[in-house]
């Protein structure tokens, strides 16, 4: 899979990918936060037409996500960091991801400007898969009807996305997010097609866990997570093996944490993971994240968390 950042890089690109896109492409547009079963169905639609027309498949995403640009800190929590999203799209067989920087300049695109500059001149799109409620351009001036109208003259077709239901409700990122915030991990796994996980690189922390007898692998998160609290987890290590453990995800209020963080204590593990990537899967909630009055109180609770996690794992 090829990642292209921005319209300038798309238009200046050379080589095999530019040559293939020069013949046109089949594309879809969205945040694809979580890459849930609804997203996966959209990608299937794109791939079907990609194979039929013998054209590359393209997914256009945005950084930051539009909600983050407009709402700032009040934006909904992310389900996935950027790299994990790319890995999920690559696993579905997407040929190209076009990542557009959502800034004030991009926000001012008119509906027609978006279609002409990005879809026609940039991607040379031949077939587009988007929801019939899809809106784009400044003040949401562009819609599905405009795409169909322009497409008839410009030589591309537009297809509505298929709705994927579960339990009588449409699968969406907001639904996944709500279920995570309510610790409904089994329902989340059904919406995603797999248990919820977060991937990231292990960084140096304050070494506090080591001091209180529970060394942790610290994964710094760029965005506030949808989950908050202490969980039983499993972690896939760089060598492909899996270790169970207990993790705290949130802001670490007892030690004046300000940046979102994921701290994982792996049972019966004695190694160094700094600089390596872990995939942490959340198996079972243990408790909410709370502030303790002292490090001794925190240590006692962590010891209890580890006992509770081992007990759950032994009886699962």
Q: What is the pLDDT of residues 280-313, one digit of tens each?
A: 999 999 999 888 877 788 888 889 999 999 999 9
State the average pLDDT over residues 63-89.
94
High-pLDDT (> 90) share of the chain, %: 74
pLDDT tens-digit series, residues 135-157: 999 988 899 999 999 999 999 99
Q: What is the 3-state secondary structure (H, E, C) of 132-180?
A: CCCCECHHHCECHHHHHHHHHHHCCEEEECCCCEECCEECCHHHHHHHH
Q: Residue 158 pLDDT > 60, yes or no?
A: yes
Q: Residue 13 pLDDT > 70, yes or no?
A: no
Instruction: Give the mean pLDDT of the chain.
Output: 91
CA distance 88 to 231: 23
Confidence of residue 272 (pLDDT cuts 50, 70, 90): confident
For residue 117, the model assigns a pLDDT of 95
- What does the block give as tokens for 16? 């095999």
Q: Is residue 103 helix, strand or coil?
A: coil
Q: Residue 53 pLDDT > 50, yes or no?
A: yes
pLDDT tens-digit series, residues 94-116: 999 999 999 999 999 999 999 99
State the average pLDDT over residues 35-45.
98
More confident residue, 205 or 192: 192
State the average pLDDT over residues 69-79.
92
For residue 177, the model assigns a pLDDT of 97
CA distance 79 to 67: 13
For residue 50, the model assigns a pLDDT of 97
High-pLDDT (> 70) share of the chain, %: 91
For residue 271, the model assigns a pLDDT of 81
Q: Where are the CATH 2.40.30.30 domain residues in the chain? A: 195-315
Q: Residue 245 pLDDT > 60, yes or no?
A: yes
For residue 80, the model assigns a pLDDT of 95
State the average pLDDT over residues 169-196.
97
Contact 33, 79 (CB under 8 A): yes
Q: Residue 191 pLDDT > 60, yes or no?
A: yes
CATH superfamily to which 2-166 belongs: HUPs (3.40.50.620)
Confidence of residue 12 (pLDDT cuts 50, 70, 90): confident
Q: Where are the alpha helices (DSSP H) in the chain?
A: 6-12, 16-21, 37-53, 66-71, 82-91, 104-107, 111-114, 144-154, 173-181, 185-192, 208-211, 295-315
Q: Where are the CATH 3.40.50.620 domain residues in the chain? A: 2-166
State the average pLDDT over residues 67-72.
93
Q: Residue 254 pLDDT > 50, yes or no?
A: no
Q: What is the pTM of this model?
A: 0.91
Contact 10, 123 (CB under 8 A): yes
Q: Residue 211 pLDDT > 60, yes or no?
A: no
In CATH, what class is 195-315? mainly beta
For residue 17, the model assigns a pLDDT of 59
Q: Residue 8 pLDDT > 90, yes or no?
A: no
Q: Which residues contact 60 (CB under 8 A, 6 or more apart)?
A: 27, 28, 29, 30, 97, 98, 99, 100, 118, 123
State the average pLDDT over residues 177-197.
97
């Amino acid at each position: 899979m090829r990642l292209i950042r921005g319209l300038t890089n798309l238009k200046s690109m050379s080589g095999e990918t530019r040559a293939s896109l020069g013949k046109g492409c089949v594309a879809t547009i969205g945040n694809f936060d979580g890459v849930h079963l609804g997203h996966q169905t959209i990608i299937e639609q794109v791939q079907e037409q990609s194979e039929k027309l013998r054209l590359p498949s393209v997914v256009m995403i945005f950084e930051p996500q539009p909600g983050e640009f407009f709402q700032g800190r009040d934006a909904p929590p992310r389900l996935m960091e950027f790299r994990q999203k790319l890995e999920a799209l690559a696993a579905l067989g997407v040929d190209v991801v076009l990542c557009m920087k959502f800034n004030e300049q991009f926000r001012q695109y008119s509906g027609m400007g978006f279609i002409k500059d990005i879809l026609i001149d940039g991607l040379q799109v031949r077939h587009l898969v988007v929801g019939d409620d899809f809106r784009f351009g400044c003040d949401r001036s562009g819609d599905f009807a405009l795409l169909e109208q322009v497409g008839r003259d410009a030589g591309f077709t537009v297809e509505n996305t298929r709705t994927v239901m579960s339990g009588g409700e449409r699968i969406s990122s907001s639904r996944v997010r709500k279920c995570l915030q309510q610790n409904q991990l089994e329902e989340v796994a059904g919406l995603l097609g797999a248990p919820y996980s977060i991937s990231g690189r292990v960084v140096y922390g304050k070494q506090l866990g080591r001091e209180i007898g529970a060394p942790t692998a610290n994964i710094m998160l760029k965005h506030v997570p949808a989950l908050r609290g202490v969980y039983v987890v499993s972690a896939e290590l760089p060598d492909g093996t899996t270790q169970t453990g207990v993790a705290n995800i949130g802001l670490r209020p007892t030690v004046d944490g300000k940046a979102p963080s994921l701290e994982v204590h792996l049972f019966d593990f004695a190694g160094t993971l700094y600089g390596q990537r872990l995939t942490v899967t959340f198996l079972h909630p243990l408790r909410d994240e709370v502030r303790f009055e002292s490090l001794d109180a925190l240590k006692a609770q962590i010891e209890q968390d580890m006992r509770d996690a081992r007990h759950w794992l032994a009886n699962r």
